[in-house]
Structure 1
Amino acid sequence: MVRDLLRDKHDELTASERRLAAVLLNDSLVAGLQSITRLAESAEVSTPTIVRLARKLGFEGFPDLQDAIREEVAARMKQPLAKLDAARRAEHGDHIVSRFIEAASENINRTLDRLDLAEFDRVAELLSEPERRLHLLGGRITRSNAHYFYNHLQIIRPQVFLLDSSPSVWPQALLDMDARATLIVFDIRRYEKELEKLAGLAVNQGANIVLFTDTWGSPIEKHAAHCFRVMVEVPSSWDSTLAMNFLIEALVAEVQNRRSDSSAERIAALENMIGESRIFRSL
């Protein structure tokens, strides 16, 4: 993917090429869809600089780079009906369950292949810090992922908060987002502007961001200290978050392992509280 190539080749780029790369990344590659002249003006570089960058990324020239950008942007912005039409046009003879299992399994395997284990450990350590406040929020589709992560984290450690889905109440939460806070955000295509705005405000307050996104990468990446990209494509008009939940459960297990004594005491206290309050018991 062009976004990954730009990051991987960053150290090999000249100052002007880095400026051009920053323009492309800051605008989610959309700037690359304009003419080479307009792009050069936007990035304040020469047109030969654009051609040199394209070749350093492995393309023959700017037209090939632009084709790759166009495909990447189109895939990132693909709407549910377009995905459904593509699935209907595909030739297949297997049952939907078989095709879905195959796609979901491939998503998990490809996500694990790309997973940076050192980054995973850094995030697990961050989420294990007892004095750190954790705030979680997802989008329209990923809200359930945020809620699932919250349900587990708040059992094994204190100071875990699930943000309300209404942006009108986010300012209250932002008051408590400082250098001792982490905002865990879930955002897959179609990316939500409100989440991006919140992430920027949280970083301005001193908080850091842990982002869960899809393979194309949410615009929130530019704010995130840590990012997990997962594969989401399945034969459906909707994206799948099974690979995302796999990472969530692995992180829960590791955070609990790092807080084994305190989390065991907390779980025991919860069990006693449930017993004392007679919750879920028949009268």
Structure 2
Amino acid sequence: MTAPAPATKFDELYTQAISYLRKQAWPSEFELRRLEREALNLSNATTVGSLEIRAHIAAYKSDFASAVALYDRALSLTADFMTLLRGMNVMQIGGESRWVFEKFKRHHDAIVSSPEAMRGVEVMLACSGYFRSAMELADRMSNAGIERDPLLTSTATPQYPLQERGRDDVEVAEVVACANRFLFDRKVRVRALQPTVIALESGEDSLLVTFHVHVAPETAAQLEWDLYGELGERSFPVEESGSLRLVLAADWDELEARPAEKVEQEGSNAYSH
């Protein structure tokens, strides 16, 4: 039997790594060690691919400092857009939103010159809480007659009055990043992020960000309470003022269709923007 070609082997390992990171699969200690060995062996065929898989494993272990260093090294060796996009996905899942935005700014000219890149990066920016920046890409695509990613067309609107109450893109993203990391650390999978501008009785407005989480309703309610405590300890002005509000919505329909023992195993589970 011939050995898998490098690209095929990378795809195989990436499928495993991303399923672990998104809390869609639960590796045993043996399976995780085997993936680590295979990632190191992959360097004989593709250094960049090896670095990417190792970054996913580091992120799964909540070692995002190592994940950032590994992806920075990978991107220093290649200009491949998909490597950048996969790196952005890893970082937004774990709340490393600043890395996502820094890479967006650094590679801005290359991103806006490619319809595929703009579609992918808009998703990553929106999932990281950089809604205004995501909408700027959406406007650019709309003006150029480029279709947006289907993941966003049904959940995001290009009219965000973010400037009316001083909601800074970076301030909003910091709160979203805190929530993403909070949920990641508790093995909760976020299936979608939905921003909506709501009118308040005072005549002002608030940006409501709904995290659709893969848990039962009672678990979502407890998680939301704990999240508010975490946000209060961190003290984010844009959230404390009511200008930005976060809520968790249980992704219950899918859970109901799954075996009870699997739901119990996953607990307060799962994530994949």
Q: Which interval holds the TM-score relative to the shorter structure?
A: under 0.3
The structure whose RCO (Cα within 8 Å, separation 6+) is larger is 1
TM-score w.r.t. structure 1 length? 0.26
TM-score by length of 2: 0.27
